[in-house]
Structure 1
Amino acid sequence: MALPSEGNQLINVVVLLGAAVVAVPLFKRLGLGSVLGYLAAGLVIGPFGIGLFSDPKSILHVAELGVVMFLFIIGLEMQPSRLWKLRGEIFGLGVAQVLACGGLLTVVGLLAGLSGPAAFMAAMGFVLSSTAIVMQILSERGDSTSAQGQRIVSILLLEDLAIVPLLALAALLAPAGNAEHGDPWIQSAIALGCILALLAAGRWLLNPLFRLLAAAHAREVMTAAALLVVLGAALLMEFGGLSMAMGAFLAGVLLSESTFRHQLEAEVEPFRGILLGLFFLGVGMSLDLSAVAREWPLILTAVVVFMLVKSVGVYAVARLLRASHAEALTRAALLAQGGEFAFVLYGAAAVAGIFDAHTAAILTAVVIISMALTPLCVLALRWLLPKPVLSMDDVDVAKDLDGCALIVGFGRFGQIVTQTMLARDLKVSILDIDTDAIRAAAKWGVKVYYGDGTRIDMLRTAGAENACAILICIDNPQAVNHMVKLIKSEFPLVRVVVRAYDRIHSLALAKEGVDYQVRETLESALVFGAAALRAIGVPADEASEVVEDVRRRDTDRFELEVAGGLFAGRSLLYGNMTSPPDGKNDKPDRETTEAAPNPLA
């Protein structure tokens, strides 16, 4: 039974939010991604699921603003200078992929019995990949700023730009008497006028406007102004017969060099997130299961053929332009689907009479299913991608080394430790397993050898037995514990100096009998605290005394804990870890500061 569409709209909102809150965390926990969670939730609550909503178009009409705001934020990150640097990828790689995939899919449409214009529109709609899905996946994988991710973003930008001429072509290809917009030349002039008006507003109006509003110190007015810019630009482009999303993107690009860019992004982001999720819910509701049931052989065949042909086109273009096999496969999996702009283009083509409503419904179902399958295609990459091959070019394996000190780990911590050794003209042997870091160190004149310090044979060949001291500088507590046990068992006379992760780890290392250990953030935090005291007006001598008192009391507590066996049970924590902390900057530091001394810090 459908929920009331009028009267108590609050019920509709609660159901939509509830479906998202339940489905998205579940699908992310299963590793399927948030987009597939939204689509599945929409399918369940929609008219072709349990029927809580009977009119998904009304949801999509509002939720399209999520796509609009999404492209505005993308535009904010695309400064003209950055776009110019990416011009080769956008107008070279992007155009090549759109033309190649469009041509291949048009042939598929012609072989399926569609007319020339219908086959072309069906193909080009599927060529336009889902910016929302791909960007979401790239963000979740942490690839959006990598070189590979930037090339994919460039392709998506070109595809988003392509919606403008494609919508114009939909009007030009309309059968006689079916053109909705009248004279295409007049419509083109109106569209050009709208673009020029938006460019003029961005150049001479928007920055002065935001400076004026910022001076008023009214947060809610800045939020309203940000929404006004996004929606106003979208409305202007819609008036010109163009894409609303294109207008928002242009507005974002125009403001990308503004000093208010980060403020605008912060104001729009909450609306973008919820509306984009609502968009995917609406898309899931729109999947007509009855039509799929009636035409399932045709729809499933079309999904497989379209995705396969497009993937082949994407892979071929990537390889022709000298991408690696792994990158080409990744790009093919991410871009194999149709996208949200296909709904816009198919709607325009149906209105123009290029194909009928039945064909438009089948094509829409094909696009929706392809969008739903994208996260699964990305998951399949782990079996399709070749195993990474470790390049040992310009890297020497540790063998017969005789350094006075053996340093294991040449990250940020190890590099500083190494400087103290070299400053005393001591001969050191340095091990690391990151071949890129080893090659980078060679450029600075530091010889680092490849070697895994958790292997006893590697420690022997690195000269551990004859070293005066072994300095363990890696940030993986579990690996550190294993290494300490090996060294104490095989080389009991060698001094062991260890980087500890936190207090619990320090206690565990003390139990193992290491000669010295220090928590990786202890001394830097004490120095930071002294500087903070001086910054707020505490005399330098007094600040130094306070910090020294904190250091002394910390040492006294630590010695009591070691002597008394306090936290002995907790010291086993890192021996049982399945995913040890990696010490990266984006991980929360487990050492905390409280009003009372924290025994775990």
Structure 2
Amino acid sequence: MAADTAHAAEAAAHGFDLLPIVILLAAAVVAVPLFKRLGLGSVLGYLAAGLAIGPFGLALFSDAQTILHVAELGVVMFLFIIGLEMQPSRLWAMRGEIFGLGAAQVGGAIALLICVGLALGYPVAASFVAGTGFVLTSTAIVMQMLDERRAMGLPKGRRIIAILLLEDLAIVPLLALTAFLAPGGEAVSMTDRLISVAIGLGAIIGLILAGRYLLDPMFRLLGRAKAREVMTAAALLVVLGAALAMQTAGLSMAMGAFLAGVLLSESSFRHQLEADVEPFRGVLLGLFFLGVGMALDLNIVAANLGLIAISVTAYMTLKMIVIYAVARLFRSSNAEAVERAVLMAQGGEFAFVLYAAAASVGIIDATSNAILTAIIIVSMVLTPIMIILHDRFMPRAADRADDLDVADNLSASVLMIGFGRFGQIVSQPLFANGCTISLIDTDTIAIRESMAFGFKIYYGDGTRLDILHAAGAQDARMIIVATDDRETTLKIVELVKAEFPHIPLLARAFDREHAIELVNARADYQVRETFESALVMAEEALRRLEVDEEAIGDIMDETRRRDQERFDIDICNGVYASRHLIQGNVPVEDRDRYIVKPSDGR
């Protein structure tokens, strides 16, 4: 205590104390890249860093709760950004998932998780609070995991977000039930409860009206001032103001930020708002995970190791059973149901609020609150580990090719290897001309998605000679290689020209250097995947600059001629010319052949 006082006095004497901020940033900068390099994910890195610098590690911080309270703003800003992506029409379309899927999962989990406390001999009220708190999933962890897995915009990601939104809404009635279950809670009048509900609804309506009629005009006015820092301040004001309004009304801060984001989702300033808030969101969300790691009281864990181990195991197992069962009931695939169960198995940050409220009204004591908090934090720490194990030992159903047709005795005028975004476009004129095409690919997800649109695609690896024969390469009039991996494409071209040298071969090139490699491998024709689209963009740019159409044609012809000339020189020299230009190896007098320089006055 004396040391803390001396440190505070020293900080006051020398101004603002930067040391805690430097320590937090250093812990994150060291731990997160290390854990990601080891394949353990950023969340586990933050949690481990927080534990290392917290009261039960190096003891560089003594009050983790203060950091947690500030860092909760990271969750708030995360929900605001999610809201910006959820237009009201899209949110309305999700109403069935929010109030159907979400309510089924929350209700089923509450009913089952209460049984854990009862089985351990705790009273009904305490068992209800303990189990209900664990039902509320960690929005911060799940959102971060969805973001890292790039699943936020996928249907399975939207279903998880819908459940999280319902859980955020559920905190309000759960807090009311906690007050009712408290000793003497029955004495609270119905009038008081109705007033609380009315305040909450009034806050939501007020926020909606403000968003509908005030926010967009305000940002339009600030935009005319052309002061970027003021726009950033206004964005933070909207997020924090909405969160404060909801918190004052007894609702979730995150819910307020989410509503603010939804109300601004159709604003012309949406993208700028997202760019302004994103850096704060990332830093504060990382700080939240650091705070969670610091808050893990190892003394409580050691003193109640058996109880915590049993509770964590029971809560997480039962919750996963409910999540899986509800997912399957709502016709999700087995793979999606398992993934959702693993992602959402932990307790969340809203449990801390519920447990604190229960402790304040006498349902649980301070020791029980500390134990329950430790149970939640341990489940949070275990979640990234469980996801790693899931990804390692639970193969995605979509990655298995057992149910796909394998290339065998195919026959068509054209064999196309690779049917991604490039191959799909190439195929359209050929199909329109009545050509028959045999399509093979190794991307099982792409195969299934394309088959849903009526394409017949066979599973086959174009780098294997036996697969090429089975796909009918020897009888095809033409082979098109449209794979999106440069090494794979080059390997296929070399194999095809070695085995079927007289069959015309067209190949997709990644860039100029790759195109030269394909020519050297004797591809009959290659095209850089962005070359023609870039020229079309340039042509349209000239047209919108009101350049004469005849001049545009001449310019584009000259550009193509120069590019082909440079390309031919590269082939003859056996070098990648642009690399030599950068290194200064091309004589000055020859550079005009390589680069089109801007003309004076143009």
- TM-score band w.r.t. shorter chain: 0.7 to 0.9
SS at match of 1:211: helix
- Determine whether 1:112 maps to 2:123: no
- 1:130 maps to a residue whose letter is S
Report the equivalent of 2:153.
Answer: 145
- 1:364 maps to a residue whose letter is T
Q: Residues 486 and 200 from structure 1, CA distance in 2 versus in 1: closer, same or farther, beyond 3 angstroms?
A: closer
Which of 18, 22, 29 is the aligned partner of 2:30?
Answer: 22
Following TM superposition, by how much is the alpha carbon of 1:564 offset from its aligned partner in structure 2, in angstroms? Answer: 3.2
- 1:333 maps to a residue whose letter is V
Deviations 1:515-536 (A, max 9, x none): 2222222233233333334433
Range 144-153 or range 520-529, more displaced: 520-529
Range 441-450 or range 210-219, more displaced: 441-450
- Determine whether 1:340 maps to 2:349: yes
Report the equivalent of 1:76.
Answer: 84
Give the whole-Å Cα distance in 2 for the aligned partners of 1:503 and 1:46. Answer: 52
Report the equivalent of 1:156.
Answer: 164
Following TM superposition, by how much is the alpha carbon of 1:293 offset from its aligned partner in structure 2, in angstroms? Answer: 1.9
Report the equivalent of 2:295.
Answer: 286
Deviations 1:480-538 (A, max 9, x none): 22222222222222232222222222222222222222222223323333333443354
CA contact (8 A) 1:178 1:353 kept: no
Report the equivalent of 1:528.
Answer: 537
Give the whole-Å Cα distance in 1 for the aligned partners of 2:424 and 2:489. Answer: 17
Q: Residues 495 and 286 from structure 1, CA distance in 2 versus in 1: closer, same or farther, beyond 3 angstroms?
A: same
- Determine whether 1:296 maps to 2:305: yes
Give the whole-Å Cα distance in 2 for the aligned partners of 1:263 and 1:361. Answer: 42
- 1:407 maps to a residue whose letter is M
Following TM superposition, by how much is the alpha carbon of 1:105 offset from its aligned partner in structure 2, in angstroms? Answer: 1.1
Q: Residues 4 and 542 from structure 1, CA distance in 2 versus in 1: closer, same or farther, beyond 3 angstroms?
A: farther
Alignment of 1:216-235 (within 5 A): 216-235=225-244
Following TM superposition, by how much is the alpha carbon of 1:392 offset from its aligned partner in structure 2, in angstroms? Answer: 5.2
Deviations 1:196-220 (A, max 9, x none): 4334433443344333333433333
Which of 44, 57, 68 is the aligned partner of 2:52?
Answer: 44
SS at match of 2:55: coil
Deviations 1:171-203 (A, max 9, x none): 222223899999545544444443443344334
Deviations 1:353-391 (A, max 9, x none): 110111111111111111111111111113553553437
Give the whole-Å Cα distance in 2 for the aligned partners of 1:492 and 1:456. Answer: 14
Report the equivalent of 1:390.
Answer: 401
Deviations 1:269-324 (A, max 9, x none): 22222112112211111111122222222222221121111111211222223222
Deviations 1:304-351 (A, max 9, x none): 121111111211222223222211111110010001111111111111
CA contact (8 A) 1:48 1:285 kept: yes
SS at match of 1:205: helix
Q: Residues 595 and 250 from structure 1, CA distance in 2 versus in 1: closer, same or farther, beyond 3 angstroms?
A: farther
CA contact (8 A) 2:137 2:164 kept: yes
- Determine whether 1:53 maps to 2:61: yes
- Determine whether 1:128 maps to 2:136: yes
- Determine whether 1:401 maps to 2:404: no
Range 445-454 or range 212-221, more displaced: 445-454
How many residues end up aligned between the 2 structures?
Answer: 573
Give the whole-Å Cα distance in 1 for the aligned partners of 2:593 and 2:113. Answer: 68
SS at match of 1:50: coil
Range 490-499 or range 348-357, more displaced: 490-499
Following TM superposition, by how much is the alpha carbon of 1:435 offset from its aligned partner in structure 2, in angstroms? Answer: 6.6
CA contact (8 A) 2:419 2:441 kept: yes
CA contact (8 A) 2:110 2:131 kept: yes
Following TM superposition, by how much is the alpha carbon of 1:137 offset from its aligned partner in structure 2, in angstroms? Answer: 0.6
Give the whole-Å Cα distance in 1 for the aligned partners of 2:199 and 2:537. Answer: 61
- 1:102 maps to a residue whose letter is I
Following TM superposition, by how much is the alpha carbon of 1:432 offset from its aligned partner in structure 2, in angstroms? Answer: 4.0
Q: Residues 445 and 304 from structure 1, CA distance in 2 versus in 1: closer, same or farther, beyond 3 angstroms?
A: closer
Alignment of 1:567-586 (within 5 A): none
SS at match of 1:479: helix
Which of 314, 317, 327 is the aligned partner of 1:318?
Answer: 327
Q: Residues 189 and 150 from structure 1, CA distance in 2 versus in 1: closer, same or farther, beyond 3 angstroms?
A: closer
Q: Residues 364 and 597 from structure 1, CA distance in 2 versus in 1: closer, same or farther, beyond 3 angstroms?
A: farther
Following TM superposition, by how much is the alpha carbon of 1:239 offset from its aligned partner in structure 2, in angstroms? Answer: 2.4
Q: Residues 391 and 536 from structure 1, CA distance in 2 versus in 1: closer, same or farther, beyond 3 angstroms?
A: farther
- 1:266 maps to a residue whose letter is A
Q: Residues 452 and 202 from structure 1, CA distance in 2 versus in 1: closer, same or farther, beyond 3 angstroms?
A: same
Range 27-36 or range 246-255, more displaced: 246-255
CA contact (8 A) 1:502 1:520 kept: yes
Q: Gapped runs of 5+ residues in structure 1?
A: 571-593
RMSD: 3.2
Which of 96, 102, 105 is the aligned partner of 2:110?
Answer: 102
Give the whole-Å Cα distance in 2 for the aligned partners of 1:177 and 1:103. Answer: 22
Range 44-53 or range 195-204, more displaced: 195-204
Alignment of 1:403-422 (within 5 A): 403=413, 405-421=414-430
Report the equivalent of 2:507.
Answer: 498
Give the whole-Å Cα distance in 2 for the aligned partners of 1:81 and 1:445. Answer: 30
- 1:520 maps to a residue whose letter is E
CA contact (8 A) 2:110 2:135 kept: yes
Following TM superposition, by how much is the alpha carbon of 1:402 offset from its aligned partner in structure 2, in angstroms? Answer: 4.7
- 1:562 maps to a residue whose letter is I
Report the equivalent of 1:65.
Answer: 73
- Where is the helix percentage greater, Structure 1 or Structure 2? 2
Report the equivalent of 1:194.
Answer: 203
The share of aligned pairs that are identical, in percent, is 57
Q: Residues 79 and 297 from structure 1, CA distance in 2 versus in 1: closer, same or farther, beyond 3 angstroms?
A: same
Q: Residues 262 and 518 from structure 1, CA distance in 2 versus in 1: closer, same or farther, beyond 3 angstroms?
A: closer
- 2:172 maps to a residue whose letter is V
- Determine whether 1:309 maps to 2:318: yes
- Determine whether 1:466 maps to 2:471: no
SS at match of 1:499: strand
Give the whole-Å Cα distance in 1 for the aligned partners of 2:402 and 2:515. Answer: 35
Report the equivalent of 1:375.
Answer: 384
Q: Gapped runs of 5+ residues in structure 2?
A: 580-590, 597-602
Give the whole-Å Cα distance in 2 for the aligned partners of 1:186 and 1:444. Answer: 54
CA contact (8 A) 2:335 2:396 kept: no
